[in-house]
Amino acid sequence: MKTSFSFGTTPAAIILAALASELGDKAYHIGANPTDAKLIQRIVNIGIDSALEAITESEFAWRGGRLHCHFAHKDLLVLLRRLYEDGSEDAWQLRSDILTTLEIEEI
């Protein structure tokens, strides 16, 4: 069952619950195309941000022309927040795509 929230307002607890339901404690995998890969690299490389958070427990590797990302659940929360804060159409689309895989819709 899909859950809906206003754009950018999905509570972290809802996202974490969806991740646990879908993956248990396995990492969230993204096989990013070159456009999304550049965006993800830029977002990850921010390091510690104004919320005093960083993406530190995830793994990244290039294979077959795609960036394969294995995000720890807490790191995925940071990525999603930063995608929202980025404000670009590509960032918002990637955020929406990730949440959709978790049966979460932001409108």
Condensed to tens digits (0 to 9), the pLDDT of residues 42-52 reads 999 999 998 99
Residue 16 has pLDDT above 90, yes or no: yes
Distances (CA, A) of 101 to 49, 63, 84, 90, 96: 26, 22, 17, 17, 9
Q: What gap in Å lies between CA 20 and CA 39, rounded to an integer?
A: 25
> φ and ψ at 96, to 5 degrees?
-60, -45
67-106 per-position pLDDT tens digit: 999 999 999 999 999 999 999 999 999 999 999 999 999 9
Nearest alpha carbon to residue 29 among 82, 101, 86: 101
pLDDT at site 2: 87
Domain hosting residue 43, numbered range: 3-106
Per the CB < 8 A criterion, the answer to whether 35 and 90 are in contact is yes
Q: What is the signed CA dihedral for 79, 88, 7, 100, rounded to 10 degrees? A: -60
Q: How many domains does the chain have?
A: 1
